[in-house]
Structures are given as structure tokens and as C-alpha cells.
């Protein structure tokens, strides 16, 4: 009896192991079949992503550090799902308009970075952002194939690769919110286009990406709203024909409806907890009467984006060049070609509507909406010294607009040519079909090689990160403070003398202390980091002071000094520490 029972017990693990192997085999088989079907778009997307991949790998090799605003962003990402989890996005200088503290609409960028910010190495944050941007490009190329086959897929891939030359290479892996929204906004174009064409299964993804883009930076709000409007119109037009309604529509609509409140719950909670809330302040900032750059400057931006030679087809002298470009009057050739491009897009849309080509009509509509949004965005920028200069980066997405406009025109020309060739087609079928398949494979390989070569050439022109010379000194100071200050303490962090080379180091050092388990408090932290990091009258047991120079500080121990050189000259930056007695008096720490 006991022997039979033992045998049955021994068979049970083997049976479960067999079932697990069977299920894994089925799953792997399905995954292999899916990959084989998706191989062309994955290969083309990865080829187009070479500039992004090279940039992310380079960031890991050089030991990327979150200097400047990046340090604030990753610190808030570290706070996700804590008792002080952020409800709003990154601090925005647009608050200068009303004198209020204004942030980007929501914290989805922090959510995206939460895992690498807390568990990975510091440089893994930049690598993660590079992976996200790569996935956005691959998905865009895959959606291009769904809409226009291999021809549009390769056209989109090579256009994206070319467009990368016009953007700062640092933006390919940067967590800074104007850069972090670039490639997701590119993906949003293809998602909205697909939804307008009736792809109801993409509704939840579109809602998620649209929420991320609009929450990341104020400059993406208007184009995202315009794209969603086009998607909704196209989708509604498709529903008018009952024969085209597909199964499961209600399920995917409900899924999209569920995504929206999840993404927007934190900003709405902020509206409830504060009066006025951040979303209210954003609306007040947009509607406040103040001198703006104006319609002329907005038109200049649009001309630069689509007129010859458009922003997306050349490498600028500086990543901030666009704040200068929009101030200069375009040449007559640039203006004329911009008007011609816009007129062609309008003509394409009109003809497509007349012929009931919803795909082509919605593609042209997206280009026109994006062009309008760029002009309005730039025109509405407040004309103050600080805010007017932000056009240098808020107009980066003008490259995406230009690329899309030219891609739509090229695709429309291809459709017209293909239609004509189809009419002239003569009969010989079987042998011609086999030959055609071979030609398609050969042409696809040639096109893939062309995409990779183009993307590789673009990657070879990438410039170093703007704060690359501060990366090693930041890592050295953070390492020294980790050794000298115990983890889990509340400390006061104070920034002393600084210059344009050393100022970006403080946010990265603060993040290093937070990763170490410490709570760094400082005056003025409220508007950028929230009340949790504001000093106010909170008690602290350690004092950390960082400043230019190597001079001694009374009652403090200098734990590290780093020396480095930038384009602004030689620099020395030091970190000092001291314990704080119950009376508030500094007690020098032992070296």
C-alpha cells in the first residue's frame, strides 16, 4: 500500500513537469511564429534605431549621471509608490507667467523611470530610456507596414533614421522631459493614424501613449489633442458603416476608457488636495494675457519645419539652434516650398476624402494638425528672456512634423504610381508571381541595408552629452559621500559657491544621497521636489555642504575634492560633512 502511494507521489512531479514543458513548448512555438511574421518590421525598426542604440550604449560606457534637471526627475521617479509619491510632473518655468508654481500635467514619466531609478545602476536609467525610444521606433515602423506594406515600412524606417540627425543625440537616452516625449510622440502619430483607420485594438495603447506624452511636457499637449481629434473623427467615420464593425470593439473601447482614469488619477487627486490644483494652474498659464512671440514667429517655425531644407533633414550647429531659427525671416524659397507642401497635403486630403480613402485622408489631416499645433505652440510662447529661449527645445518635435509631412506626400505619390501600374498590368501570372516574390525579398534586403547604412551614418555624427565632463566628478563625490555619511539619516544639503559648470552637479549628488537611503533637505526644494525635501523647520542629524573651491569650512570635514575642465575653464568642486548636535551645533565628523 505504502509502495503504491510512494509511486503515485513520485509520478505527480513528473506529470506537472511534463505539463509545464508542453505549455512552454506551445508558447515558444507561438512566439517563434509571431517573430517570423514580424521579422521584417522588427529588423527595419531596429535598423532605424541604430542612432538611439548607439547613444544608449555610449551613455552606459561613459558612466552617465543625472546632471541638472535629470537629477530632479530621477529623484522623483525614486519616490514613486512611497508616502510622498509625485502627483504632478516636472517643474515648469511657464509658471513665471502667473507667478505660481506650475508643473507638467502628470507623473507618468516618473512611473516609467521608477524601476531603474530605484533598483538599477545609475547609468541603467539612460539605457532604459534608450530601450523605450527604440521600442517606440520599432512599433512605429511596424504600424507603417500595417498601413502601407513593405514600401511604407522601409520609407518610414529610413525617414526616422534621417530625422535623428536633426535631434540632439543626447535626447535619444535623456530622461529630461522635453526629450523623453519625442519618440513617444512619434509613436502617437502612427497610433492615431491606425485608430483613424479602424484599428480598435490599438485604442488602449493610444490612450496610454497620449497620456504619457501630454503629461511629460506642456509643448506636447496641443499636438496630442489634435492627433486624438483626427483619430476620433476617422474612427467614428468607420463606425458609420456597420459592415466594417469588428468583433470585440466594445471590449477594447472599455479597456481604453479604463486606461485614462488610471493615468490621470494622480493629477486629479492633486486637484482635490490643492486649491488651485496644478491642472488649473496650467490652464491659467495658457490663458493669461502676456506678450507672446506672436504669429510671425510661429509661422517662421512652421516654414523651418516643412520648407526646404526642413529641420529634419540636416544636422544643426547646436541643439538649441531653433530659438535662433524662428527669429530669422525665412527666405522666399523656404516660404514658397512650405506653402506648397501645405497645399499638397490639403489636396491629398481632399482627393482622399472624395475617393473614400480614409487612411490617406487621416494621414494628411494629421500632418496639417501637427503643422498648426507647432505654429500655435511657438506663437503662444511668452516673450520673456527665459521663456522665449525655451523654443530651443520645445520646437524639437518640429522634426517629427516635417518627417511625417514628407512621408505622407511620398506615400501618396507611390499610391498614385502603383494604381497606374496596376492598370497597365498584363496577364502572365504564375512565373511572374514567383519572380515577383524573389524580387520583393531581394529589394527588401537592399532596403534594409540602406536603412542600416543611413542610420549608421547618422550615429557616426553623434555629439557627446552636454554634461559629459561632469559625469566622473559626480560619481566620485557621490561615492565619497556614501562612505562618509551613514545611510538612513536626515541631512541638510546646502549648495555653496557654484558656476555654470558645477551647478548641474547638485541634483545628481542629491539623487545619490537619496539612493543611499538618506533624506536630503534644503531651502527652496518645494517647487521642484515637493514638500518632502523642503527644509522648513525639520530636524536633521547631518550637514552636507558642496561648493566650488578647496577652501576649508569651519567645523566641517572635506571628504572629497574633484577637479575637471569644461569649455568654461578649470573647476574644483568639494564636498564637506559634519554631524549636527541636538543643540544644532556642527560637530566635525571623523575623517
Burial of 428 (0-12, 13-18, 19+ CB in 10 A): exposed
CA distances from 386 to 94, 259, 320, 343, 381 (A): 9, 36, 13, 35, 11
Nine cell digits for residue 327:
527669429
Q: How far is residue 98's CA from residue 339's CA, in Å, rounded to a whole number? A: 36
Q: What is the dihedral of CA 383, 399, 107, 63, to 10 degrees?
A: -110
pLDDT exceeds cutoff 80 at 66? yes
**H/E segment holding residue 161:** helix 122-163
**Mean per-residue pLDDT, 124-146:** 97
At residue 12, the pLDDT reads 54
Nine cell digits for residue 397:
518635435
Q: How far is residue 513's CA from residue 477's CA, in Å, rounded to a whole number? A: 10
Q: Judge whether 151 lies within some domain.
A: no
Range of the domain at 497: 468-588
- What is the number of domains present in the chain? 1
At residue 33, the pLDDT reads 66
Confidence band of 29 (pLDDT split at 50, 70, 90): low
| CA-based nearest residue to 271, from 11, 1, 87 | 87
CA distances from 94 to 121, 211, 377 (A): 33, 20, 13
At residue 550, the pLDDT reads 82
Q: How far is residue 297's CA from residue 380's CA, in Å, rounded to a whole number? A: 9
Q: Judge whether 139 lies within some domain.
A: no
At residue 28, the pLDDT reads 63
| DSSP notation for 298-314 | HHHHHHHHHSSSPGGGS
Ranking 98-112, 380-394, 431-445 by mean pLDDT, the lowest is 431-445
What is the DSSP secondary structure assignment for residue 534, as one 8-state letter?
B
Q: How far is residue 263's CA from residue 209's CA, in Å, rounded to a whole number? A: 10
Q: Judge whether 540 lies within some domain.
A: yes
At residue 247, the pLDDT reads 64
| DSSP notation for 70-131 | HHHHHHHHHTTTSTT--SS-SEEGGGGGTTS-EE-S--HHHHHHHHHHHHS-HHHHHHHHHH
What is the DSSP secondary structure assignment for residue 511, as one 8-state letter?
H
Q: Can you give the CATH number for the domain in which 538 is found? A: 3.40.120
In 400-500, at which residue ranges do the beta strands (DSSP E only) sit?
490-495
Confidence band of 402 (pLDDT split at 50, 70, 90): very high
The long-range contacts involving 153-156, CB below 8 angstroms and separated by at least 24 positions, are 153/40, 153/41, 153/44, 154/44, 154/444, 154/447, 154/448, 154/450, 154/451, 155/407, 155/410, 155/411, 155/414, 156/48, 156/407
Q: Which residues contact 474 (CB under 8 A, 6 or more apart)?
A: 65, 67, 505, 508, 509, 512
Nine cell digits for residue 480:
565619497
At residue 549, the pLDDT reads 83
Confidence band of 243 (pLDDT split at 50, 70, 90): very low
Give pLDDT tens digits for 160-183: 999 999 999 999 999 999 999 999
* Cross-strand pairs, 382: 292
At residue 430, the pLDDT reads 47
What is the DSSP secondary structure assignment for residue 587, as one 8-state letter?
E
At residue 288, the pLDDT reads 85
Nine cell digits for residue 250:
466594445
- 3-class DSSP state of 486: coil
Place of cell 544636422: 315
Calculate Rg over the CA atoms of the chain. Answer: 27
| CA-based nearest residue to 74, from 105, 103, 115 | 115
Give pLDDT tens digits for 506-527: 999 999 999 999 999 999 999 8
**Mean per-residue pLDDT, 107-129:** 96
Q: Is the peptide bond before 309 cis (omega within 30 degrees of 0)?
A: yes
- Helices 398-423 and 358-379 meet at what angle, rounded to 10? 160
Q: How far is residue 509's CA from residue 521's CA, in Å, rounded to a whole number? A: 13
Give pLDDT tens digits for 351-376: 999 999 999 999 999 999 999 999 99
State the average pLDDT for the chain. 90
Percent of the chain with pLDDT strictly greater than 90? 76
pLDDT exceeds cutoff 90 at 217? yes
- 3-class DSSP state of 170: helix
pLDDT exceeds cutoff 60 at 150? yes
pLDDT exceeds cutoff 70 at 254? yes
Q: How far is residue 285's CA from residue 243's CA, in Å, rounded to a whole number? A: 46
Q: Are 64 and 117 in contact, with CB atoms under 8 Å apart?
A: no
At residue 551, the pLDDT reads 85
Q: Are 430 and 342 in contact, with CB atoms under 8 Å apart?
A: no
Q: Are 139 and 45 in contact, with CB atoms under 8 Å apart?
A: yes
Q: How far is residue 290's CA from residue 149's CA, in Å, rounded to a whole number? A: 48
Q: Are 253 and 216 in contact, with CB atoms under 8 Å apart?
A: no
Give pLDDT tens digits for 434-493: 556 777 778 888 899 999 999 999 999 999 999 999 999 999 999 999 999 999 999 999
Q: Which residue has the higher pLDDT, 285 or 46?
A: 46
Q: In 10 A of CB 169, how many CB atoms?
A: 24
- 3-class DSSP state of 545: strand
Q: Are 492 and 535 in contact, with CB atoms under 8 Å apart?
A: yes
Nine cell digits for residue 305:
519645419
Q: In 10 A of CB 364, how many CB atoms?
A: 27
Q: In 10 A of CB 386, how many CB atoms?
A: 10
**Mean per-residue pLDDT, 232-255:** 80
Q: Are 128 and 116 in contact, with CB atoms under 8 Å apart?
A: yes
Q: Judge whether 5 lies within some domain.
A: no
Q: How far is residue 148's CA from residue 244's CA, in Å, rounded to a whole number? A: 19
The whole-model pTM stands at: 0.92
Give pLDDT tens digits for 525-557: 998 999 999 998 899 999 999 998 888 888 999
Burial of 22 (0-12, 13-18, 19+ CB in 10 A): exposed
At residue 499, the pLDDT reads 81
Q: Judge whether 413 lies within some domain.
A: no
At residue 417, the pLDDT reads 87
| CA-based nearest residue to 177, from 114, 262, 92 | 92
Q: Which residues contact 401 (CB under 8 A, 6 or more apart)?
A: 223, 305, 306, 367, 370, 371, 374
Amino acid at each position: 500500500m505504502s509502495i503504491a502511494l510512494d509511486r503515485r507521489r513520485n509520478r505527480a512531479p513528473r506529470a506537472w513537469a511534463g505539463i509545464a514543458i508542453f505549455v512552454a513548448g506551445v508558447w515558444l512555438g507561438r512566439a517563434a511564429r509571431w517573430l517570423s511574421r514580424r521579422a521584417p518590421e522588427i529588423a527595419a525598426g531596429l535598423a532605424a534605431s541604430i542612432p538611439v542604440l548607439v547613444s544608449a550604449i555610449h551613455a552606459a560606457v561613459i558612466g552617465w549621471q543625472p546632471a541638472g534637471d535629470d537629477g530632479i526627475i530621477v529623484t522623483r521617479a525614486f519616490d514613486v509608490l512611497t508616502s510622498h509619491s509625485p502627483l504632478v510632473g516636472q517643474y515648469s518655468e511657464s509658471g513665471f507667467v502667473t507667478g505660481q508654481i506650475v508643473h507638467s500635467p502628470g507623473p507618468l514619466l516618473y512611473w516609467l523611470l521608477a524601476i531603474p531609478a530605484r533598483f538599477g545602476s545609475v547609468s541603467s536609467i539612460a539605457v532604459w530610456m534608450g530601450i523605450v525610444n527604440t521600442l517606440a521606433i520599432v512599433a512605429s515602423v511596424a504600424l507603417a507596414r500595417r498601413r502601407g506594406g513593405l514600401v511604407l515600412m522601409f520609407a518610414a524606417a529610413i525617414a526616422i533614421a534621417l530625422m535623428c540627425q536633426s535631434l540632439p543625440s543626447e535626447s535619444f537616452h535623456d530622461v529630461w522631459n522635453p526629450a523623453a516625449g519625442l519618440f513617444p510622440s512619434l509613436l502617437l502619430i502612427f497610433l492615431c493614424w491606425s485608430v483613424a483607420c479602424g484599428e480598435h485594438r490599438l485604442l488602449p495603447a493610444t490612450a496610454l501613449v497620449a497620456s504619457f506624452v501630454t503629461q511629460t511636457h506642456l509643448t506636447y499637449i496641443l499636438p496630442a489633442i489634435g492627433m486624438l481629434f483626427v483619430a476620433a473623427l476617422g474612427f467614428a467615420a468607420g463606425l458609420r458603416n456597420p459592415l466594417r464593425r469588428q468583433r470585440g470593439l466594445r471590449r477594447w473601447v472599455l479597456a481604453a476608457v479604463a486606461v485614462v482614469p488610471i493615468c490621470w488619477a494622480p493629477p486629479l487627486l492633486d486637484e482635490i488636495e490643492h486649491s488651485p490644483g496644478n491642472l488649473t494652474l496650467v490652464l491659467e498659464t495658457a490663458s493669461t494675457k502676456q506678450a507672446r512671440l506672436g504669429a510671425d514667429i510661429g509661422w517662421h517655425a512652421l516654414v523651418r519645419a516643412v520648407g526646404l531644407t526642413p529641420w529634419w533633414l540636416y544636422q544643426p550647429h547646436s541643439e538649441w539652434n531653433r530659438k535662433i531659427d524662428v527669429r530669422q525671416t525665412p527666405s522666399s524659397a523656404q516660404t514658397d516650398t512650405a506653402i506648397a507642401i501645405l497645399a499638397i497635403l490639403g489636396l491629398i486630403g481632399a482627393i482622399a476624402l472624395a475617393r473614400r480613402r480614409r487612411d490617406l485622408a487621416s494621414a494628411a489631416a494629421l500632418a496639417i494638425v501637427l503643422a498648426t499645433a507647432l505654429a500655435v505652440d511657438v506663437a503662444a510662447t511668452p516673450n520673456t528672456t527665459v521663456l522665449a529661449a525655451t523654443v530651443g527645445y520645445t520646437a524639437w518635435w518640429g522634426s517629427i512634423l516635417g518627417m511625417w509631412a514628407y512621408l505622407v506626400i511620398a506615400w501618396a505619390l507611390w499610391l498614385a504610381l502603383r494604381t497606374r501600374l496596376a492598370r497597365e498590368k498584363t496577364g502572365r501570372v504564375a512565373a511572374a508571381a514567383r519572380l515577383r516574390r524573389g524580387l520583393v525579398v531581394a529589394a527588401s534586403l537592399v532596403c534594409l541595408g540602406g536603412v542600416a547604412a543611413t542610420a549608421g551614418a547618422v550615429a557616426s555624427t553623434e555629439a557627446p552629452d552636454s554634461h559629459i565632463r561632469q559625469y566622473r566628478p559626480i560619481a566620485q563625490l557621490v561615492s565619497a559621500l556614501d562612505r562618509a555619511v551613514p545611510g538612513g539619516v536626515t541631512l541638510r544639503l546646502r549648495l555653496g559657491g557654484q558656476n555654470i559648470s558645477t551647478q548641474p552637479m547638485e541634483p545628481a549628488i542629491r539623487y545619490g544621497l537619496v539612493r543611499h537611503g538618506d533624506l536630503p533637505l534644503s531651502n527652496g526644494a518645494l517647487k521642484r521636489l515637493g514638500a518632502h525635501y523642503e527644509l522648513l523647520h525639520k530636524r536633521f542629524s547631518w550637514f552636507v555642504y558642496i561648493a566650488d573651491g578647496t577652501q576649508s569650512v569651519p567645523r566641517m570635514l572635506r571628504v572629497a575634492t574633484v577637479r575637471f575642465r569644461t569649455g568654461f575653464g578649470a573647476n574644483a568642486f568639494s564636498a564637506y560633512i559634519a554631524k549636527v548636535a541636538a543643540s544644532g551645533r556642527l560637530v566635525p565628523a571623523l575623517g
